Structure 1
Amino acid sequence: MTDHVSTHQAEEDARNETILIYLNGRIVPKREATVSVYDSGFMLGDGVWEGLRLYDGRWAFLDEHLDRLFEAAKAIDLDIGLDRAGVRQALFDTQAANGMTTDAHARLMVTRGVKARPFQHPALSRSGPTVAIIMEHSRPKLPRPIRLATVPHMRGLPMTQDPKLNSHSKLNCILACIAAEKAGADEALMLDVHGFVNTTNACNFFIVRGGEVWTSTGDYCMNGITRAKVIALCRANGIPLREKNFSLVEAYSADEAFLTGTFGAQTPVGQIDGRVIGTGELGPMTERLRALYKALVAAEG
């Protein structure tokens, strides 16, 4: 199996070669958007980030994304150097500079900044922070449902690296993704410390069984905004929703499975560890939730 796809797979768009990028208060051409080798993000993965999606002129659930960004920055004791209004304005300015109106994705990144010496201690970051916004024209293009493989890499305990923290330090997830690709899959299905099904390396995970939508307890999963919206949509529309521990046995025999994330919204899963899930195609519950989510995004504006 060599036809790997990604939950972040998008149509090719030549306009992305000439995008403008926000970097520390300036908006510069892509080739000029560079940071120092002494930057804390490059050197240590010391920073936090948000992924945002532009639909019909509006950044979906922007307030929730800003809440999560500032919460993460406080958790790692990082001063972003901008207030909420400043971050919003930086996003809007970058959008305007690129002439983007819809089908765009932004990655907003904040690191502790440039270090005085190449060592770990945060006090060595004396000229921070570094704030960057990469904004690309991006329309999801998934040729088939995602194939998952279970990997040994776990979603860890909060006292190691809390999975709810959107940090630049993604090596655990990258190793999980590599393991899945070596197994011939597209993405990794990661378990929690008790062996229950949790998330993938990049997205949150749901299954559908007997008309019920199941997801993890939330104790070890990423603090997903799209996940929260799907849970709320189920509750608002009379769809039975259970946040619970469940095993691979229950996942293998699910009627449907799907992933949630800012980029792909609801992405169908066709196989887990070589087992076909349901029909192996987009299922009716996933399709219904996609429609409800699309309506929610439209209604937000």
Structure 2
Amino acid sequence: MAQANRSISNDWPELPFAAWRDTCATLHLWTQIVGKIRLAQTPWINHSWHVPLYVSGRGLSTSPIPYGGSAFQIDFDFIDHALLIHSSDCLSRRVPLRPQSVADFYRALMATLGELGLDIRINPMPNEIPDAIRFDQDTTHDHYDAESVTRFWRALVQVDRVFKEFRARFLGKCSPVHFFWGSFDLAVTRFSGRPAPPHPGGFPNMPDWVAREAYSHEVSSAGFWPGGGGIDHAAFYSYAYPTPNGFAEAPVRPSAAYFSKQLGEFILPYDDVRQAASPDELLLGFLQSSYAAAADLAQWDRDALERDMVDVATP
């Protein structure tokens, strides 16, 4: 259960996008490299659920990745600022996280995998990024401000916690709370159970069939991202696919939330949550009211898909 915040300033850190925009762009590409390693080794799961990263106690993690009869795991440590690679063969390696180009990071990581006997090949082109540069040729993105990255991770810890409480209220098909490296956001998605019309695709540097598979069924999806893509501040979002009639005019809480016609989704600035007397309550209100708008307008069977958390016993 979400708990009262001990210290708003400590628990929900400031996250000014302009101050770490370049670092964010570099880190985004680093997470794509790591995510594509997982993609190359993992059986395809519907909606691309086999590719995300997960918030951990120190950063972001792939979770175990299969390799033949063994497994390995890659972790971003945003406290000591290192990329950690551990294998089930009891081998470990460490790659420092410091100011370096994407090309240098790519070469260092692939060489380290080779030292561990992990022969893995990935597509070196970034996904969902316009004007993308191959990882092995990208000397443009080379920023890394450790303090900003730690603040971002601390924000992810809070968001991950609240998203998991929101997820627990749903009985139907629902994604894990996971970090998609393509769009660089933490997301959780609920499903009505009904098929959706084919998605038009159109994401930069991503095959349309991936989008069609991801949106094969009706969804209400919420997430958090640090900024970019037309919004120069950290924000929460919520959208439905397909978008039901009247969704943009729905009464979504809190008053700071608004519908972006450009993005086609509801937006709640992160700072409004961070500065609230009860950030958890404010965020849960946004998640629940935007989901309810989508579910009611699209006539989801909410009685069958939801549960009252009061009725859930504690063992």
- Using the size of structure 2 for normalisation, the TM-score is 0.25
| Structure (1/2) with the larger strand percentage | 1
Give the alignment's TM-score, normalised by structure 1: 0.26
The structure richer in helix per residue is 2
